[in-house]
Amino acid sequence: MSRLEPDVQVRRIQSLLQRKGFGFGVITRVLRELDLAGS
């Protein structure tokens, strides 16, 4: 992934997953596994 601000990465991932129909819980888990949610 390109070197963007972490919050920009999070927003891009959230919008991508939401367009694919994933729920908030799944998005949160993906972000946590990518080590972005807690940083």
pLDDT for the residue 10: 86
- CA 26 to the chain's CA centroid: 10
Q: What does the pLDDT look like over 11-25, one tens digit per residue?
A: 998 999 999 999 989
The per-residue pLDDT of the chain, averaged, comes to 84
Distance CA 21, CA 32 (A): 19
pLDDT given for residue 3 in this prediction: 73
Calculate the CA dihedral of residues 6, 8, 9, 15 and round it to 10 degrees.
Answer: 140
Instruction: Enumerate the domain spans of the chain.
Output: 1-39
